[in-house]
Structure 1
Amino acid sequence: MVDGVVSSSLYDNRSTSNTSLLYLNVIVNNKLMTTMIDTGANRTFISIKALHLSYKKQSINKVSSRVILADGYTSLSILGTVHLSINMGDMLTTIKAFIVKELCVDCILGMDFINKYKMIINTEERTVSICDNHKRPTLQFDVNKHCINYPARLIKHIRIPPKRTVSVPVSVARSSAQVLFRPSFKLQQRSPILMLNSSLKIHRHTSFISLHNP
């Protein structure tokens, strides 16, 4: 059950932007996609919805498995793997990606891609550069000002006694970020619990929400 959502659009200025929230609009398998560079992800992922119809039928190695995120609780269902060809400026890059049902963006480039192409992230200049042999093209990454929501789920069941405040651990499918939390409609309808903090800091896919039982 989803207990609420967090929004990654809390901070837009350079001094507070998180290096794990970098966006690039690039050509992936001959299709323009929004990709996110995630330094907290070990592997590269792509949404099944983002793949072109021809790739859905021909180039997918179907597997059925699950991967656990760094928080030890959140898991993603893997539908298969696919080889991606990504145009980064004037350089063609390749990487094998896990296919999942849905993501917050079309594709997430993880540490496997970052290490393979010796990616350098310059947050002051808002650029990333990659290396292949003697070439090192530089790309400007996007400042995504749209509100992107991620589901937040309780890590374990809790009981809050009357007149008490409890710090509750939640699991979020983001490695690290400063976000805003909004409780789900169902949670607000069925519970009189008061939420004391809406600004959360996510670390290793985990954050804490202070809840009060009046």
Structure 2
Amino acid sequence: LKDGLKSSLRFDILLKNPTTTEEFLKYAQKIEELRSLDEQQGMMEQSSQQQPNLITTSARSSNSPTNYARTSQTNNKTTTTRHNLSNQHRQNNRTPKPPYRCYRCDGSSIDGDAPTRLLNPSPIFILAKVNQVITKIMFDTGSAKSFIKKSILEQTNHVNIQFKQQSYLMADGSSTFNILGTTEIFIEFEKSCTSIIAGVVDTLCVDCLLGMDYINKYYVNLNYKEKQVQIHIQDIIVDLPMENTMKTINVPGRANAFTYFHP
């Protein structure tokens, strides 16, 4: 988030030293709004200083009975200048744009608008052999480590699991993610093979999850536009198509207590 900030806001944000994403976004928006208000106040002061001079010039020109053309020309300049100042004032009163941008969006819609087209979701899936068994794999840039489901691992010829229970703190700052141990897994792409030390877990949203440790190790390039995944294995670049995971799932639900949603 800090890398995506405007250079004019970066110093003020770093002084606040936010510890959470919510604090970071809150400080960024507040600083942007304060800067916008300062600019508006400066334009209003400049406008108030220029308007008396314009009125005086117009009055003096109109007092001359012999030079009507000059009076008309001066009045036109006064009207044009006032019109320009009014346009500048209206432009400065526009809602300030936040200094941050959602990396999942294409930037064409404003926050709160309903999207006019279906956006690609953040998770990226591919099909590849894990320990010689075709497995559905997800790339997750929000995870520092790679994980594999124990039930999937048991279906393959795998390296012995180093049982050592560990807990990872999730993005919400309060939930924990428990792993049973670690093992080395081998992911095959065409005639090339890669490996990573992955955590073994009982439950996972996908069969195998490759995090930033794998992405950084093999310089993985996630091309959303072309729907391609590029993996650098030594001197070879492997191109893999992303799997289409868009499905309509209807899940019935019932609230335990009465809930009112405000419009």
TM-score for the superposition, normalised by structure 2: 0.51
Q: Give the aligned partner of residue 205 of structure 2.
A: 104
In 2, are the aligned partners of 1:46 and 1:106 still within 8 Å (CA)? Answer: yes
The 8 Å contact of residues 132 and 156 in structure 2, kept in 1 or not, is answered as: no
Separation (CA, whole Å) in 1 of partners of 2:248 and 2:186 = 28
Deviation at 1:52, TM superposition (A): 2.5
What's the CA shift for 1:147? 5.6
Contact 2:165 2:179 survives alignment (8 Å): yes
Whole-angstrom CA distance in 1 between matches of 2:186 and 2:163 = 19
TM-score, length-scaled by structure 1: 0.62
User: Where do 5+ consecutive residues of structure 2 fail to align?
Assistant: 1-114
Separation of aligned partners in 1, 2:174 and 2:218: 30
| Residue deviations 1:28-49 (CA, integer Å, cap 9, x gap) | 0121111100011110011111
SS at 1:82 equivalent: strand
Residues 108 and 148 of structure 1, relative CA distance in 2, 3 Å threshold: farther
Tell me which of 120, 132, 150 is aligned to 1:17.
120
- Match 1:92 to one of 176, 193, 198: 193
How many residues get paired?
148
The whole-number CA distance in structure 1 between the counterparts of 2:249 and 2:133 is 22
Give CA-to-partner distance per residue, 1:138-176, whole Å, 9 cap, x none: 000101123689xxxxxxxxxxxxxxxxxxxxxxxxxxx
- Please say if residues 117 and 132 of structure 1, whose CA atoms lie closer than 8 Å, have aligned partners that are also in contact: yes
Bigger helix share? 2
Hey, what's the Cα distance between the residues in 2 that align with 1:139 and 1:65?
A: 33
Query: 1:99 aligns to what SS in structure 2?
Result: strand
Aligned counterpart, 2:54:
none
State the Cα deviation string for residues 103-151 of structure 1 (Å, max 9, x = none): 11101100000000001111111001111221111000101123689xx
Partner of 1:191: 257
Decide which structure has the larger Cα Rg and report it: 2
Over the aligned positions, Cα root-mean-square deviation in angstroms equals 2.6
Q: Larger RCO: Structure 1 or Structure 2 (Cα < 8 Å, ≥ 6 residues apart)?
A: 1
Q: Which residue of 2 aligns with 1:41?
A: 143
